[in-house]
Amino acid sequence: MANNPYESAMTQLKRAAKIINLEPYILDILKRPVRILETGIPVKMDDGSTKIFQAYRVQYNDARGPFKGGIRFHPSADLDEVKALAFWMVIKCAVVNVPFGGSKGGITVEPKSLSLRELQQLSRGWVRAFARYLGPKKDVPAPDVYTNPTIMGWMADEFGQVAGEWQPAAFTGKPIALGGSQGRTEATGHGGFLVVEALIKKLNLNKERTTVAVQGFGNVGFYVAKKLHDAGYSVIALSDSKGGILDKRNHGMDPENVMRSKKEKGLIGGCYCAGMVCDCENYQKISNAELLEMEVDILIPAALENVITAENAGRIKAKAIVEMANGPTTPEADEILRQKKIVVVPDVLANAGGVTVSYFEWVQNNTGEAWKRAEVLDKLKPIMENSFEEIWGVSIEKKIDLRTAAFALALQRIAEAIKARGL
Ligand code: NAD
């Protein structure tokens, strides 16, 4: 299969392992997950039929703490994708030094085709199928593509019913009413914003003159675009699964207005609309492929994996790429970007704000505390900034790219935990 994300993940692992002379037995441990769970979930559909949905949970490594990772509902979710995402969670938690291992879950489904009742049945079915392997000290799921706090609320409720007691720390990304953390929804985007702020200092860019293009307008893409716009960056292109828009004047657009127009009209492509006022003269419809190749300072893929490949990497004109999606760049594309001297801030650092605030949520649930939003974002800031500095430092010291530096740092931490546990 072309651009298999698990093969990409293993290529990244081997590259970093070589640079730090990782002991062969540790590399062998990390070449496979601890546990793969898969099943079919039956759902009684609204039309009376019963449909079976393919579901996964991959628990990759728990040397540093309980397994931790989101659940994706997507038509192309398959085992190799879930394995890759689970592996990247292991690396990511070690990059920001939160005491978790890594896991990931998925269901092969087009969630937009389900009614709310069917979606809830499916979400509860996933929990019933894997409940014995989940829990605050075992494995803690969270939202990912096409899952959200509402779904986490249903799942946490189902887990409580199966376990016989309410255990809020078993899921993160929950609604606030069920013990969710303030700031969790915006956390991944906020973390990405902090990374961009640190990056432009290193690149000597001025934010008022820095242009940004963001692919993906979901939880992650929206918040990172909004925070950059609010801070004075020019967000000149945005897209979702149906296409995108480009601000031809390089002025930058307000993601809140674009979101309003998307909600009203169901599309962000075509024109730029603030309320009912649409400007089709200064804003141009573009495709997702065009967005990636635009002349901007910072390109932010925030949708799905494998969008920057050997086929299009040579045409990318951005000075830097900040990977908010997981796995957007294939190893072949990475090599081309390295040759072109395009700085790539890897996913395992750029989008780690989400799991960091999930960790804060888990801590609050375990201690019965409820922190204010400002406190949460204040605690996130030094973690993102210090992680960025550490990885930048390793990259300079070892003369390696930022991804390999992030993996090298993470692998050292994971290896230390594996060794400390003994054999
Ligand atoms: P989401 O479901 O909220 O949004 C996904 C967005 O991607 C939507 O706007 C959708 O229209 C768009 N999209 C889907 N297919 C597309 C395509 N082919 N081209 C362009 N856009 C497309 O999901 P999310 O939570 O924002 O996740 C986005 C990425 O960020 C994923 O790679 C996810 O793994 C990663 N991530 C999410 C979190 C989190 O906290 N939610 C944390 C870390 C990483």
DSSP calls for 78-126: -HHHHHHHHHHHHHHHHHTT-S--EEEEEEE--GGGS-HHHHHHHHHHH
Q: Which of 184, 188, 357 for mutating ligand 1's site (highest number of atoms within 8 Å of CB)?
A: 188
Pairing state of beta strands 67-74 and 139-143? Answer: parallel
Q: Decide if pLDDT at 268 tops 70.
A: no
End of a domain among 300, 329, 345? 345
Specify the CATH number for the domain of residue 118.
Answer: 3.40.50.10860
pLDDT of 12 strictly over 80: yes
Q: What is the C-alpha to C-alpha distance for residues 184 and 138, in angstroms, rounded to an integer?
A: 21
Indicate if 99 and 152 belong to the same structural domain: yes
Listed residue (278, 315, 293, 113) closest to 215, CA to CA: 293
pLDDT of residue 300: 98
Instruction: Give the pLDDT confidence score for residue 241 in this predicted structure.
Output: 87
Question: Closest ligand 1 atom to the C-alpha of 143?
Answer: 41
The verdict on 193 and 146 lying in the same domain is no
- Which ligand 1 atom lies nearest to the CA of residue 327? 32
Ligand 1 centroid to Cα of residue 325, in Å, is 6
Distance of CA 219 from the midpoint of ligand 1 (Å): 7
Residue 261 near residue 274 (C-beta atoms within 8 A): yes
Cβ neighbours of residue 201 under 8 Å, at least 6 residues apart? none
Q: Indicate whether 62 belongs to any domain.
A: yes
For ligand 1, what atom is nearest to the CA of residue 187?
Answer: 40
Q: 121 lies in a domain?
A: yes
Residue 17 lies in a domain: no
Active site residue 104: yes
Spatial contact of 244 and 253, defined as CB atoms under 8 Å apart: no
Mark the binding-site residues for NAD(+), compressed into ranges: 188, 219
pLDDT attached to residue 45: 98
Determine the atom of ligand 1 nearest the C-alpha atom of 217. Answer: 9
* Domain finish residue from 313, 345, 377: 345
Which residues are near ligand 1 (CB < 6 Å)?
Answer: 143-146, 188, 215-221, 239-241, 288, 302-304, 324-326, 351, 354
Q: Which of 43-52, 241-250, 259-268, 311-320 has the lowest mean pLDDT?
A: 259-268
Q: Say how many Å lie between the CA of residue 217 and the centre of ligand 1.
A: 7
Integer Cα distance of 312 and 250 in angstroms: 23
List, for residues 149-160, the tens digit of each pLDDT value: 999 999 999 999
334 and 216: one domain? yes
Q: Once rounded to an integer, what is the mean pLDDT over residues 191-212?
A: 97
The predicted-structure confidence for 114-133, as pLDDT tens digits, reads as follows 999 999 999 999 999 999 99
Nearest CA to ligand 1 atom 6: 218
For every residue of 359-397, which 3-state class applies, written as one string? HHHHHHHHHCCCCCHHHHHHHHHHHHHHHHHHHHHHHHH
Strand partners, 400: none
Write the residue with the smallest CA distance to atom 14 of ligand 1: 241
Parent domain of 244: 186-345
In this structure, the answer to whether residues 118 and 160 fall within a common structural domain is yes
**Cβ atoms of residues 383 and 356 within 8 Å:** yes
How far is it, in rounded angstroms, from Cα 296 to Cα 324?
Answer: 16
32-83 pLDDT, tens digit per residue, is 999 999 999 999 999 999 999 999 999 999 999 999 999 999 999 999 999 9
Clarify whether residues 165 and 198 are in a common domain: no
DSSP 334-347: HHHHHHTT-EEE-H
Question: Does residue 270 carry a pLDDT above 70?
Answer: no
- State yes or no: pLDDT of 260 exceeds 90: no
Is 147 domain-assigned?
yes
Nearest-atom index, ligand 1, CA of 358: 40
Q: Which of 329, 298, 167 has its CA nearest to residue 235?
A: 298
Q: Which neighbouring-strand residues pair with 343? A: 320
Predicted local distance difference test score (pLDDT) of residue 75: 97
- Specify the CATH number for the domain of residue 220: 3.40.50.720
Strands (E), 109-222: 139-143, 211-215
Which of 317, 345, 373 is where one domain is finished? 345
- Name the residue at shortest CA distance from atom 29 of ligand 1: 325
- Tell me which of 104, 174, 226, 262 is the catalytic residue: 104
Dist. CA 145 → ligand 1 center (Å): 5
Tokens of 40: 């079919």
If asked whether residues 209 and 131 sit together in one domain, one would say no
Q: Each residue of 292-350: pLDDT tens digit?
A: 999 999 999 999 999 999 999 999 999 999 999 999 999 999 999 999 999 999 999 99
Tell which one of 195, 220, 286 to mutate to probe ligand 1, the residue whose CB is within 8 A of the most ligand atoms.
220
Among all chains, which residue has been given the structure tokens 């830097």?
Answer: 320
- % the chain with pLDDT above 90: 87
DSSP run (H or E) holding 65: none
C-alpha span between 395 and 389 (Å, rounded) = 10
Q: Assess whether 190 and 330 both reside in one domain.
A: yes
Q: Pairing mode, if any, of strands 243-247 and 234-240?
A: antiparallel
Q: Is residue 280 predicted with pLDDT exceeding 90?
A: no
Nearest CA to ligand 1 atom 37: 144
Beta bridge partners of 273: 278
How far is CA 346 from each of CA 1, 51, 83, 146, 300, rounded to the nearest angstrom?
23, 38, 18, 22, 11
Q: Let me know whether 117 and 195 are in one domain.
A: no
d(CA 383, CA 60): 24
Strands (E), 96-232: 102-108, 139-143, 211-215
Query: Do residues 239 and 161 both lie within one domain?
Result: no
- Cα 255 from Cα 224, distance rounded (Å): 9
Protein residue closest via CA to atom 17 of ligand 1: 241
pLDDT band at 283 (very low <50, low <70, confident <90, very high): confident
Between vectors from CA 184 to CA 418 and to CA 275, what angle results, nearest 5°?
Answer: 145
Q: How many domains are contained in the chain?
A: 2
